[in-house]
């Protein structure tokens, strides 16, 4: 994974999120406890993992240090997407000891949250690919409010693939829309208005899959189907549209069931839990005094 080059979040997302996080942690008086220590003490700290997992959030960690105190120097020994082992040193921070203390929690909040997403993504990817090596695991729009760009990058770091970034990027016709216009009308209208975008249709039944594939949709979302029904849906989609129409599975997919869905050989399995329910990766900052 660590050979990929698409793992970094946009800098503007990093700068903005870190600025908000620090404001909520230090205003108005600053770090009362750190200020008990003399301003001239210099320290060193080692970011270490307490668990095995996949690293993400390094750009945020660097920005936290920079915004807390430009004199903090942060050197990473591995990058987003790297496997980390329990006890492994991930990075070294040196600088004013008080600034280290002030930066600690915000730095860890970003890295452990985002690494938690990367780690859970990796588990889904591994479980699915054990059965169907070509399958890809997608994230969703079920991200934490305000952190979408960072969480989408963490999914990539875990080997996952990003579904549409937001409502403006692609068309996903769901049952709620289909009460108002037919599959064919929706796909046709979307293709006319929004050329080049993902046009996906959510299907509950095989006849819908057939119609969606025939209408020119580029992707079909098999929602809440059984693995057996998914296998049928894949067959229908391939028969009607070949590789022109990809098949995504969603709903009721857990680490326990992901292999059985992967066995049905869809192109994608999307998992909201990657971003809405990932526990953190337990990281810690071991502080010391520069000798």
The reply to whether 105 belongs to the active site is yes
The reply to whether 152 belongs to the active site is no
Q: Which of 61, 62, 186, 274 binds a second copy (CB under 8 A)?
A: 186
Determine contact, residues 97/59, Cβ cutoff 8 Å.
no
Nearer to a second copy, 228 or 254 (CB): 254
Which member of 129, 142, 197, 238 is catalytic? 142
- Helical segments of 43-160, H only: 58-68, 97-131, 148-157
| Count, residues near a second copy per rule CB under 8 A | 106
Q: How far is the CB of 203 from a second copy (least distance, A)?
A: 15
Q: Which of 46, 51, 67, 126 binds a second copy (CB under 8 A)?
A: 67
Segment contacting a second copy (CB under 8 A): 122-130, 180-188, 230-238, 255-263?
180-188
Which member of 79, 129, 174, 238 is catalytic? 174
DSSP state of 161: B
Q: Which residues pair with 283 in a beta bridge?
A: 49
The reply to whether 202 belongs to the active site is yes
B/e letters for 54-90, b = 16+ CB within 10 Å, e = fewer, are bbbbbbbbbbbbbbbeeebebebeeebbbebeeebeb
Nearer to a second copy, 228 or 275 (CB): 275
For tokens 């270490």, name the residue.
Answer: 48
Examine residue 161 and tell whether it contacts a second copy (CB under 8 A).
yes
Interacting positions 77-136 with a second copy (CB under 8 A): 97-98, 101-102, 105-106, 108-110, 112-113, 116, 136
Q: How far is the CB of 74 from a second copy (least distance, A)?
A: 15
Interacting positions 211-270 with a second copy (CB under 8 A): 218-219, 244, 246, 267-268
Interacting positions 6-65 with a second copy (CB under 8 A): 6, 8-13, 16-39, 41, 60
Phi-psi label, residue 151: left if phi above 0, alpha if psi -120 to 50, beta otherwise: alpha
Nearer to a second copy, 17 or 91 (CB): 17
Rounded to the nearest angstrom, the gap between the alpha carbon of residue 189 and the centroid of all alpha carbons in its chain is 31
> How many residues does the structure list for the chain?
291
For tokens 């920079």, name the residue.
Answer: 66
Determine contact, residues 223/272, Cβ cutoff 8 Å.
no
What's the angle, vertex CA 209, arms to CA 206 and CA 214, rounded to 5? 130
Segment contacting a second copy (CB under 8 A): 82-90, 163-171, 229-237, 254-262?
163-171
Active site residues: 105, 142, 174, 202, 223
């Amino acid at each position: 994974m660590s050979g990929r080059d698409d793992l970094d979040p946009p800098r503007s997302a990093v700068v903005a999120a870190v600025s908000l996080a620090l404001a909520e942690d230090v205003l108005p008086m600053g770090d009362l406890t750190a200020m008990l220590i003399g301003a001239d003490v210099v320290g060193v700290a080692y970011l270490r993992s307490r668990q095995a997992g996949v690293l993400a959030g390094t750009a945020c960690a660097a920005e936290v240090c920079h915004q807390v105190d430009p004199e903090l120097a942060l050197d990473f020994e591995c990058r987003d997407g790297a496997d980390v082992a329990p006890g492994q040193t991930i990075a070294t921070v040196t600088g004013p000891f008080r600034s280290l203390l002030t930066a600690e929690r915000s730095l860890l909040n970003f890295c452990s949250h985002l690494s938690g997403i990367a780690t859970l993504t990796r588990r889904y990817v591994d479980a699915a690919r054990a059965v169907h090596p070509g399958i890809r695991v997608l994230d969703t729009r079920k991200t934490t409010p305000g952190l979408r760009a960072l969480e989408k990058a963490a999914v990539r770091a875990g080997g996952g693939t990003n579904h549409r970034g937001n409502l403006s990027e692609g068309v996903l016709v769901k049952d709620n829309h289909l009460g108002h216009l037919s599959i064919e009308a929706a796909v046709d209208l979307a293709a006319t208005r929004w050329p080049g975008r993902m046009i996906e249709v959510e299907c509950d039944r095989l006849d819908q899959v057939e119609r969606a594939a025939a209408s020119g949709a580029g992707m079909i979302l098999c929602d809440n189907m059984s693995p057996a029904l998914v296998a049928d849906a894949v067959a229908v989609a391939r028969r009607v549209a070949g590789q022109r129409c990809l098949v995504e599975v969603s709903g009721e997919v857990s680490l326990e069931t992901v292999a059985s869905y992967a066995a049905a050989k869809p192109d994608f399995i999307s998992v909201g839990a990657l971003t809405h329910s990932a526990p953190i990766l337990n990281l810690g900052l071991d502080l010391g005094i520069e000798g």
